[in-house]
Amino acid sequence: MIRKLLAVLAALTLMMGLAPAATAQTTGTVTQNDLRFTYSINAGGSDLRPGGHVRLDITARNTLPSSPWYNPLQNNRVLNTFGFTVPAGYTLRSSGGNDMQNVGTHDQSNYFGGQPGDVISTNRVVGPGSTRSGWLSFNIPDDAAGGSSHKFGFRAHLGLNGDWHPLVENALGFTLGAVATTTTVSATPTTVEEGGKTTLTASVAATAGSNKVTAGNVEFFVGGTSIGVMPVGTNGRAGIEHSVPLLDNRTPITQQVTARYLGDSPRFAASNSGTTTITVNPEPKAEVTSTVGLTATRGLAEDGQLPVTLDVSVDTSNGQDLPAGAQVEILRDDVVVATIPVAGVTATYTDHLDAEVAESTSYRYTARLLKSESDDTIYLGAESEPVTVTLAAEVTPEVTVAVDPTSVLVGRAVDMTATLTADGNPLPAGAEVTIRANGRDIGTVTTGDDGTAVLAGHEFTTPGDKTIEAVFGGAVIGGKNYRPVTSAPATLTVEALPEADSATVIELQTEATAGDEVTITAVVSRPDGGELTDAAATDLGSVWFFSDGEVIGSAPVTMDPATGEATAVFTHRFAERGEYRVTAEYSGISGNDEVISPSETAEATVVTVSASGIEIEEPGPPAPDPIMIGSLDMGSIEGVLGEEGLSSLTGMFGGN
- In tens, the pLDDT along 215-226 reads 999 999 999 999
* Secondary element (H or E) of residue 187: strand 181-188
Q: What is the mean pLDDT of residues 454-463?
A: 92
Residue 203's pLDDT is what? 98
Least confident of 364-373, 406-415, 451-460, 525-534: 525-534
- The pLDDT-based confidence of 90 (bands split at 50, 70, 90) is very high
Asked if residue 480 has pLDDT above 60, the reply is yes
Query: Which stretch of DSSP H or E encloses residue 15?
Result: helix 2-15
pLDDT digits (tens, 9 = 90+) for 195-216: 999 999 999 999 999 999 999 9
For residue 39, pLDDT beyond 50: yes
The verdict on whether omega for the bond into residue 245 sits within 30 degrees of 0, i.e. cis, is: no
Structure-model confidence comparison of residues 423 and 47, the more confident one: 47
Domain extents for the chain? 2-175, 181-281, 294-391, 395-495, 500-642
Q: Is the pLDDT of residue 6 over 80?
A: no
CATH number for the domain whose boundaries are 294-391: 2.60.40
pLDDT per position as a tens digit, 381-435: 999 999 999 887 778 899 999 999 999 988 889 999 999 999 899 989 999 999 9
Closest CA to 434 of 416, 421, 457: 416
Cβ atoms within 10 Å, residue 424? 6
645: pLDDT strictly greater than 80: no
Residue 614: which pLDDT band, with cuts at 50, 70 and 90? low
CATH hierarchy code of domain 395-495: 2.60.40.10
Report if pTM > 0.75.
no
Residue 613: pLDDT band by 50, 70, 90 thresholds?
low
| pLDDT of 465 over the 50 cut | yes
241-251 confidence digits (pLDDT tens): 999 999 999 89
Pick the more confident residue, 1 or 377. 377
Mean pLDDT over all residues of the chain?
87
pLDDT tier at 3, thresholds 50, 70, 90: very low
The one-letter code for the residue type at 264 is D
**Which of left, alpha, beta for 540 (phi over 0: left; psi -120 to 50: alpha)?**
alpha
Top pLDDT among 612 and 308 is at 308
The CATH fold assigned to 2-175 is Immunoglobulin-like (2.60.40)
Average pLDDT over residues 65-74: 78
Sheet of strand 475-477, all strands in order from the earlier edge strand to the far edge = 393-395, 480-482, 475-477
φ, ψ dihedrals at 122, nearest 5°:
-105, -120
Report yes or no: 25 and 150 within 8 Å, Cβ to Cβ: no
Q: Per-residue pLDDT for 24 more than 80? A: no
Query: Please, which pLDDT band fits residue 457 given cuts at 50, 70 and 90?
Result: very high
pLDDT score recorded for residue 535: 64
What gap in Å lies between CA 28 and CA 44, rounded to an integer? 18
Q: Which pLDDT score, from 0 to 100, does residue 653 have?
A: 39
What does CATH list as the number for 181-281? 2.60.40.10
Percent of the chain whose pLDDT exceeds 70 = 88
Residue range 471-487: average pLDDT?
Answer: 86
Q: Please, which pLDDT band fits residue 568 given cuts at 50, 70 and 90?
A: very high
Give residue 120's pLDDT: 64
Work out the average pLDDT over 57-71.
88
**The dihedral of CA 407, 409, 410, 413: what is its sign?**
negative
Look at residue 55 in the predicted model and tell me its pLDDT: 98
Is residue 490 scored above 50 in pLDDT?
A: yes
Average pLDDT, integer, range 346-373 = 92
Given the DSSP bridges, would you call strands 485-486 and 398-404 parallel, antiparallel or unpaired? unpaired
CB 578 within 8 A of CB 590: no
Per-residue pLDDT tens over the stretch 241-288: 999 999 999 899 999 999 999 999 999 999 999 999 999 999 988 999
State residue 57's pLDDT score. 98
Is pLDDT above 60 for 453?
yes
Residue 649 pLDDT > 50? no
Domains 294-391 and 395-495 share a fold: yes
Question: In the sheet that 377-379 helps form, which strands lie side by side, from edge to edge?
Answer: 286-288, 377-379, 372-373
The pLDDT of 645-650, averaged and rounded, is: 42
Give the β-pairing of 475-477 and 490-495.
unpaired
What's residue 311's pLDDT? 97
Q: What is the pLDDT of residue 17?
A: 39
Q: Assess whether pLDDT exceeds 60 at residue 164.
A: yes
Average pLDDT, integer, range 311-321: 95
Question: Domain 500-642: what homologous superfamily?
Answer: Immunoglobulins (2.60.40.10)
Q: Give the whole-angstrom CA distance, residue 83 versus residue 105.
A: 9
What is the pLDDT at residue 118? 74
